[in-house]
Protein backbone atom coordinates (compact mmCIF):
# COMPACT_ATOMS: atom_id res chain seq x y z
CA UNK A 1 0.00 0.00 0.00
CA UNK A 2 1.28 3.51 -0.75
CA UNK A 3 1.04 6.01 2.08
CA UNK A 4 3.32 8.58 0.45
CA UNK A 5 0.47 11.13 0.48
CA UNK A 6 0.91 11.45 4.25
CA UNK A 7 3.67 13.96 5.12
CA UNK A 8 6.51 12.22 6.97
CA UNK A 9 7.49 14.22 10.04
CA UNK A 10 11.10 13.44 10.89
CA UNK A 11 13.22 10.61 9.49
CA UNK A 12 13.34 7.00 10.66
CA UNK A 13 15.88 7.37 13.50
CA UNK A 14 15.56 4.70 16.19
CA UNK A 15 16.01 5.71 19.83
CA UNK A 16 19.17 4.08 21.27
CA UNK A 17 18.17 1.07 23.38
CA UNK A 18 19.72 2.43 26.59
CA UNK A 19 17.75 5.67 26.16
CA UNK A 20 14.50 3.69 25.61
CA UNK A 21 15.12 1.98 28.96
CA UNK A 22 15.49 5.33 30.75
CA UNK A 23 12.30 6.67 29.10
CA UNK A 24 10.39 3.57 30.20
CA UNK A 25 11.75 3.85 33.75
CA UNK A 26 10.33 7.40 33.93
CA UNK A 27 6.93 6.22 32.63
CA UNK A 28 6.71 3.58 35.43
CA UNK A 29 4.20 1.50 33.46
CA UNK A 30 1.54 -0.45 35.33
CA UNK A 31 -0.20 -3.70 34.37
CA UNK A 32 -3.30 -3.07 32.27
CA UNK A 33 -2.16 0.27 30.82
CA UNK A 34 -2.23 1.25 27.14
CA UNK A 35 1.01 2.59 25.68
CA UNK A 36 1.34 4.49 22.38
CA UNK A 37 4.36 5.23 20.22
CA UNK A 38 3.37 7.75 17.53
CA UNK A 39 5.87 7.18 14.72
CA UNK A 40 6.92 3.86 16.23
CA UNK A 41 9.73 3.03 13.79
CA UNK A 42 10.92 -0.55 14.41
CA UNK A 43 8.59 -0.90 17.48
CA UNK A 44 11.50 -1.50 19.86
CA UNK A 45 10.14 1.03 22.36
CA UNK A 46 6.83 -0.87 22.52
CA UNK A 47 8.51 -4.28 22.68
CA UNK A 48 10.62 -3.08 25.62
CA UNK A 49 7.49 -1.60 27.25
CA UNK A 50 5.96 -5.10 27.24
CA UNK A 51 8.95 -6.32 29.26
CA UNK A 52 8.26 -3.70 31.95
CA UNK A 53 4.58 -4.51 32.63
CA UNK A 54 1.59 -6.35 31.22
CA UNK A 55 0.60 -3.52 28.87
CA UNK A 56 -1.24 -3.22 25.57
CA UNK A 57 0.63 -1.22 22.93
CA UNK A 58 -0.35 0.68 19.80
CA UNK A 59 2.16 2.05 17.33
CA UNK A 60 1.49 4.36 14.39
CA UNK A 61 3.83 4.31 11.41
CA UNK A 62 3.68 5.12 7.69
CA UNK A 63 7.19 4.41 6.39
CA UNK A 64 7.16 1.01 4.61
CA UNK A 65 10.65 -0.10 5.77
CA UNK A 66 9.86 0.84 9.38
CA UNK A 67 6.52 -1.03 9.24
CA UNK A 68 8.36 -4.09 7.91
CA UNK A 69 10.96 -3.90 10.71
CA UNK A 70 8.25 -3.37 13.34
CA UNK A 71 6.18 -6.35 12.18
CA UNK A 72 9.26 -8.60 12.08
CA UNK A 73 10.44 -7.50 15.54
CA UNK A 74 6.97 -7.98 17.06
CA UNK A 75 6.67 -11.45 15.50
CA UNK A 76 10.16 -12.44 16.69
CA UNK A 77 9.31 -11.24 20.21
CA UNK A 78 6.01 -13.18 20.05
CA UNK A 79 4.10 -10.04 21.06
CA UNK A 80 1.50 -9.91 18.27
CA UNK A 81 -1.27 -10.26 20.89
CA UNK A 82 -0.01 -7.23 22.81
CA UNK A 83 1.24 -4.82 20.14
CA UNK A 84 -0.77 -3.48 17.21
CA UNK A 85 0.80 -1.39 14.45
CA UNK A 86 -1.58 0.99 12.70
CA UNK A 87 -0.47 2.16 9.27
CA UNK A 88 -1.87 5.62 9.68
CA UNK A 89 -0.89 9.26 10.13
CA UNK A 90 0.00 10.14 13.73
CA UNK A 91 -2.34 13.14 13.54
CA UNK A 92 -5.29 10.78 12.95
CA UNK A 93 -4.40 8.54 15.93
CA UNK A 94 -7.12 7.98 18.53
CA UNK A 95 -5.16 8.68 21.72
CA UNK A 96 -8.22 9.17 23.94
CA UNK A 97 -7.52 5.91 25.82
CA UNK A 98 -3.74 6.35 26.16
CA UNK A 99 -2.16 5.99 29.60
CA UNK A 100 1.37 6.59 28.35
CA UNK A 101 3.10 7.83 25.19
CA UNK A 102 6.70 7.22 24.33
CA UNK A 103 7.76 9.67 21.61
CA UNK A 104 10.80 10.65 19.60
CA UNK A 105 10.31 13.66 17.35
CA UNK A 106 12.11 16.93 16.72
CA UNK A 107 11.02 20.00 18.67
CA UNK A 108 9.18 21.47 15.69
CA UNK A 109 7.10 18.31 15.20
CA UNK A 110 6.46 18.06 18.96
CA UNK A 111 5.25 21.67 18.84
CA UNK A 112 2.63 20.83 16.21
CA UNK A 113 1.73 17.52 17.89
CA UNK A 114 1.34 19.22 21.28
CA UNK A 115 -1.99 20.72 20.18
CA UNK A 116 -3.34 17.21 19.58
CA UNK A 117 -1.93 16.03 22.93
CA UNK A 118 -3.57 18.96 24.73
CA UNK A 119 -6.94 18.39 23.07
CA UNK A 120 -7.16 14.61 22.98
CA UNK A 121 -5.07 12.99 25.73
CA UNK A 122 -6.87 12.01 28.93
CA UNK A 123 -5.90 13.86 32.09
CA UNK A 124 -3.03 12.12 33.86
CA UNK A 125 -1.54 10.51 30.76
CA UNK A 126 2.26 10.47 30.85
CA UNK A 127 4.59 11.26 27.95
CA UNK A 128 8.28 10.39 27.73
CA UNK A 129 10.45 12.11 25.12
CA UNK A 130 14.19 12.50 24.65
CA UNK A 131 16.62 14.93 23.01
CA UNK A 132 13.84 17.47 22.35
CA UNK A 133 11.37 18.97 24.82
CA UNK A 134 7.72 19.73 24.04
CA UNK A 135 7.40 23.50 23.42
CA UNK A 136 5.10 25.18 25.92
CA UNK A 137 4.87 22.17 28.26
CA UNK A 138 6.54 21.94 31.70
CA UNK A 139 8.37 18.68 32.26
CA UNK A 140 7.65 16.90 35.55
CA UNK A 141 11.10 15.31 35.36
CA UNK A 142 14.15 16.26 33.26
CA UNK A 143 17.08 13.91 33.39
CA UNK A 144 20.51 13.77 31.75
CA UNK A 145 21.71 10.32 30.81
CA UNK A 146 25.35 9.54 30.06
CA UNK A 147 25.55 7.20 27.08
CA UNK A 148 28.19 4.55 26.35
CA UNK A 149 29.84 6.80 23.72
CA UNK A 150 30.25 9.58 26.32
CA UNK A 151 27.51 11.81 24.96
CA UNK A 152 24.72 13.11 27.17
CA UNK A 153 21.06 12.59 26.27
CA UNK A 154 18.27 14.59 27.84
CA UNK A 155 15.07 12.78 28.78
CA UNK A 156 11.75 14.41 29.70
CA UNK A 157 8.63 13.16 31.48
CA UNK A 158 5.38 15.11 31.06
CA UNK A 159 1.92 14.59 32.55
CA UNK A 160 -1.26 15.83 30.87
CA UNK A 161 -3.08 18.10 33.33
Q: Where do contacts with ligand SAM occur on this chain (CB under 6 A)?
A: 6-10, 12-15, 37, 39-41, 44-45, 60-63, 66, 89-90, 104
- Is 159:126 a contact under the CB 8 Å cutoff? yes
Nearest distance, CB of residue 42 and ligand SAM, angstroms: 6
Nearest distance, CB of residue 45 and ligand SAM, angstroms: 5
Nearer to ligand SAM, 102 or 125 (CB): 102
Nearer to ligand SAM, 10 or 120 (CB): 10
Nearest distance, CB of residue 142 and ligand SAM, angstroms: 18
Nearer to ligand SAM, 110 or 125 (CB): 110
**How far is 121 from 137, CA to CA, in rounded Å?**
14
β-pair type (141-146, 56-60)? unpaired
Nearest distance, CB of residue 87 and ligand SAM, angstroms: 8
Q: Which residue's Cβ lies closest to ligand SAM?
A: 39
Nearest distance, CB of residue 37 and ligand SAM, angstroms: 5
- Is 156:128 a contact under the CB 8 Å cutoff? yes
CA atoms within 13 A on the CB side of 102: 28
Dump the DSSP string for 42-72: TSHHHHHHHHHSS-EEEEE---HHHHHHHHH
Number of H helices, E strands in the chain: 4, 7
Nearer to ligand SAM, 43 or 121 (CB): 43
Amino acid sequence: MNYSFIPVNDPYAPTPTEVVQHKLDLLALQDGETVFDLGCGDARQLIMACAMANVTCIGYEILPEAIEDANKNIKDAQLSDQIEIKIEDIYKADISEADALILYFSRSVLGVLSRKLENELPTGARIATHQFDIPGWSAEIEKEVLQKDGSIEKIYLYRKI
